[in-house]
């Protein structure tokens, strides 16, 4: 069951190119400087979830949250995750989880809202939590209830971070290799549709992550003692990323020809966060770091003590069935799938040029 749970939260993000792909224009093209976004809306999976997943999730049990905030907070890490670092770049407080919106003062929602749920995908996955379409439904409902004004939305940015779980579900459902190209195409088509819908609801700018090196996840590198990435899963990521690049370019080209306004606006832009390059760069940095605390970047910090257990597993009598490494502050991966706070900070350090285009 623990292994299945791990696979359900196979939540990598969509990383294809670090290039800035404006749908119409940007300040670098001669326009006036734009004010930085004031609100952040998040759609995605466990790489972006900051507390939406139900309390039965592993993200709500120790040792998750041990680095920040010191106790489980619904983040799939020992501390901060991608959402937190992206928010900090814009000087925005990390947006509050949608599921917990009724438990806080409404002023807390002025920074935006996080609709991401761990284990989810563009389509339904093996997890019961809402997919991207439903997450956007939640956002639309908030807009229709006037939680956010048109002015709020015009000065907002959206983070879209998901798709890895779609491929995990494809594998668990025994999808055939020859069906993979058409499945990837369907994932990308739906993702593009969703991006248009987010923009149509008034969000000023959108950043989308593409798949990172799926084959380098600890649950796949364990068979090689965390030394070699899976070429099979890395090839899936490359196919996804190629199709994403092509679709975004086609979108840009078609809109420039037709003058479509669905995604085109002087205040809108699309930036792709290249998690693939960022992960690989972080791995290389850690491998070449000098000092006795240097760790194998593919080796997770928190693992089950034996087969069948995973990070956070506890026996009937409260006995811990997991172990935590001595130095989580120097481990890239926290568990079999998710980066640690240290890992996310390393990844974030390589995303600055892409994020800068949204200022």
- Which of 76-80, 101-105, 330-334 has the lowest average pLDDT? 101-105
Is 96 designated active site?
no
SS3 category, 218: helix
User: Could you tell me the pLDDT band of residue 212, with boundaries at 50, 70 and 90?
Assistant: very high
**More confident call, 1 vs 142:** 142
The catalytic residue among 26, 46, 156, 340 is 46
Is 142 designated active site?
no
Quick one: pLDDT at residue 255? Answer: 66
pLDDT in tens, 46-83: 999 999 999 999 999 999 999 999 999 999 999 999 99
Q: Could you tell me what percent of the chain has a pLDDT over 70? A: 85
Cα-based distances in Å from 18 to 77, 80, 210: 25, 22, 10
Burial of 239 from C-beta contacts in 10 A (0-12 / 13-18 / 19+): middle
The catalytic residue among 57, 161, 335, 354 is 335
Q: Select from 354, 331, 355, 353 the least CA-distant residue to 341.
A: 331
Quick one: pLDDT at residue 203? Answer: 95
Is 338 designated active site?
yes
The catalytic residue among 111, 338, 340, 357 is 338
Quick one: pLDDT at residue 290? Answer: 52
What is the average per-residue pLDDT within 325-349?
96
């Amino acid at each position: 069951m623990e292994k299945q749970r791990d696979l359900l939260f196979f939540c990598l993000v969509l990383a294809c190119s670090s290039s800035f792909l404006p749908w119409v224009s940007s300040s670098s093209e001669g326009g006036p400087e734009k004010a930085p976004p004031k609100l952040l809306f998040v759609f995605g999976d466990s790489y972006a979830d900051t507390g939406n997943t139900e309390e039965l999730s592993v993200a709500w049990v120790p040792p998750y949250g041990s680095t920040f905030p010191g106790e489980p907070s619904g983040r799939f890490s020992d501390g901060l995750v991608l959402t937190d670092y992206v928010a900090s770049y814009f000087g925005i407080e990390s947006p509050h989880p949608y599921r917990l919106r009724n438990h806080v003062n409404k002023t807390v929602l002025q920074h935006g809202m996080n609709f991401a749920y761990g284990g989810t995908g563009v389509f339904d996955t093996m997890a019961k939590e809402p997919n991207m379409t439903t997450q956007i439904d939640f956002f639309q409902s908030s807009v229709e209830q006037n939680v956010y004004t048109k002015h709020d939305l015009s000065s907002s940015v959206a983070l879209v971070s998901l798709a890895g779980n779609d491929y995990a579900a494809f594998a668990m459902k025994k999808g055939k290799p020859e069906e993979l190209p058409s499945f990837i195409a369907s994932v990308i088509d739906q993702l593009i549709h969703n991006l248009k819908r987010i923009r149509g609801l008034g969000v000023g700018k959108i950043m989308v992550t593409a798949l990172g090196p799926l084959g380098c996840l600890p649950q796949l590198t364990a068979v090689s003692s965390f030394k070699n990435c899976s070429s099979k899963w890395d090839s899936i990521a490359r196919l996804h990323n190629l199709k994403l690049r092509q679709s975004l370019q086609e979108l840009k080209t078609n809109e420039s020809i037709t003058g479509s306004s669905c995604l085109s606006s002087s205040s809108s832009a699309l930036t792709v966060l290249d998690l693939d390059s960022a992960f690989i760069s972080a791995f290389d940095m850690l491998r070449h770091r000098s000092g006795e605390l240097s760790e194998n970047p593919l080796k997770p910090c928190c693992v089950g003590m034996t087969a069948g257990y995973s990070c956070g597993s506890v026996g009937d009598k409260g006995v811990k069935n997991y172990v935590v490494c001595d130095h989580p502050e120097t481990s890239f991966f926290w568990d079999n799938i998710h980066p640690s706070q240290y890992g996310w900070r390393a990844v974030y350090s390589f995303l600055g040029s892409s994020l800068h285009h949204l200022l």
